[in-house]
Structure 1
Amino acid sequence: MIDNLMYTITNINVIFYIIAFLFGGIPFGYVLTKIFYKIDITQIGSGSIGATNVYRALKDIDSKNAKKFSLLTIILDATKGMFVVLLAKIFDLEYSVQYMIAILAILGHCYSPYLNFRGGKGVATAIGSIILLIPIEGILGLLVWGFVGKVLKISSISSLLGVLSGIFLNFLIPYIISLPDSINIIAQIHSHAPVIIIGILIFYTHIPNIKRLFKGEEKKVL
């Protein structure tokens, strides 16, 4: 039993799973607003630690820099997801393990262990985590996210459409374009399950937003 426990603890996959969750859980939006403005973003607006709530929390305090901190939050949240997947690639871990690491990084962001398992919606971390695994679908999903956000200025709609388009393209692109095995999820793990799981997770974190959308109460990001 002890031998099995030690094997589990020292297994490189398990070590990476833990790192992914803990690193993904770093609440950059919370840290930035706490350090520079002495506010607790989890007690403001939606309580999310993501870029949209960072912007809404700061626009009345420091409108000049609100968008800058919002953008910085997006970059940092995406980077933490990208970093753990890149690290897994450097260590040449199996593709199935890399996808699990991506999922755990997103879970860490949505349920941060540093904030009593509160967090953000997971979109930026999802894009950062997945873009090294399926870059074509990831980049196109990112473009949809940015375009819809620019036009409609409703963060939840742009996030959901960006993620949903990435999932849809994941089912389409590998069958119409000849892709290298390194960026073809079918060749990698013979399953679309990871992107479906990520999509379900993002959808779940946006349930309050979806309810507000149906009620016509979801606010624009101006």
Structure 2
Amino acid sequence: MDFFTNPNIIFYILAYLIGSIPFGLLLAKKFAGVNVQESGSKSIGATNVLRVVKQTNPALAKKLGIATVLLDAIKGAIVILIAMAYGMSMETLWAIAVISVLGHCYSIYLGFEGGKGVATGLGVFLVLIPIPTIIGALVWGFCAKVLKISSISSLLGLIGVVISAIIFDNGLDIDSNAPMYFITFIIFYKHIPNIVRLVKGEEGKVA
């Protein structure tokens, strides 16, 4: 079969291209007139959108932050849902999940820079392992309320997803947890600067 007519390859390319769309950057530029890559943590994720836009338009900041989370999650889920409708295997669905997160973190539209993968990871996990993801989201919500530090709350929520998936008989419907672990590794790797700041006591809180 020709390379570019292989359904798996088509879905992998779509996953990367759609995963690479920097919604946070686009929303902040369009509606707030700011470039989040030049301010704050320089991330394109919701936390930096919220932090940067809040400096000039507090009322708009929360709306754009929520919109960024939703769109980043949806872009992770949408290709998987389409692939499901086409009857693709679970192995292919998990490969799409990994590639979507990679696209967000290393966007082709931003010179292979990008965000930290939390919302996109949420989107793919919610489709593929919904119960562990809901548990992880509850962990995140509790930690965010108590700690008010986005990075550590996100990472603790992610750990909650992984532990819950393992407890619930792995939950992946494939023979290996490797895709879930790889997505977790990517997100932790992208958070290394945050982890360093946490250790130094310099990580900022979200008001």
Fold in common (TM above 0.5): yes
Percentage of matched positions with identical amino acids: 51
User: How is 1:1-222 mapped onto 2 (pairs within 5 angstroms)?
Assistant: 7-174=2-169, 184-185=171-172, 188-222=173-207
Shift, 1:80, TM fit: 0.7
Instruction: Point out the structure with max Rg over C-alpha.
Output: 1
Of stretches 116-125 and 37-46 in structure 1, the one that deviates more from structure 2 is: 37-46
Mark the runs of 5 or more structure 1 residues left unpaired by the alignment: 1-5, 176-183
CA distance in 2, matches of 1:31, 1:72: 11
CA distance in 2, matches of 1:140, 1:84: 23
1:98 alignment partner AA: L
Of stretches 197-206 and 137-146 in structure 1, the one that deviates more from structure 2 is: 137-146
Shift, 1:30, TM fit: 0.3
Shift, 1:67, TM fit: 1.0
CA distance in 2, matches of 1:196, 1:156: 18
1:83 alignment partner AA: I
Partners of 2:34 and 2:53 within 8 A in 1: no
SS in 1 for 2:128: coil
- Cα RMSD over matched residues? 1.1
Tell me the alpha carbon deviations over residues 60-86 of structure 1, each in whole angstroms, 9 at most, x when there is no partner: 100112111101110111111111111
Partners of 2:20 and 2:103 within 8 A in 1: yes
Tell me the alpha carbon deviations over residues 105-128 of structure 1, each in whole angstroms, 9 at most, x when there is no partner: 111111111111111110010010
2:176 alignment partner AA: S
CA distance in 1, matches of 2:189, 2:88: 29
CA distance in 1, matches of 2:3, 2:140: 39
Query: Aligned pairs, how many?
Result: 207
Mark the runs of 5 or more structure 2 residues left unpaired by the alignment: none
Tell me the alpha carbon deviations over residues 87-118 of structure 1, each in whole angstroms, 9 at most, x when there is no partner: 11111101000001011111111111111111
Tell me the alpha carbon deviations over residues 166-219 of structure 1, each in whole angstroms, 9 at most, x when there is no partner: 1111111127xxxxxxxx32xx21111111101111110000000000000000
CA distance in 1, matches of 2:50, 2:80: 28
Shift, 1:23, TM fit: 0.3
CA distance in 1, matches of 2:32, 2:62: 14
Shift, 1:38, TM fit: 2.1
2:179 alignment partner AA: P
Of stretches 35-44 and 89-98 in structure 1, the one that deviates more from structure 2 is: 35-44
Shift, 1:40, TM fit: 1.3
Shift, 1:37, TM fit: 2.0
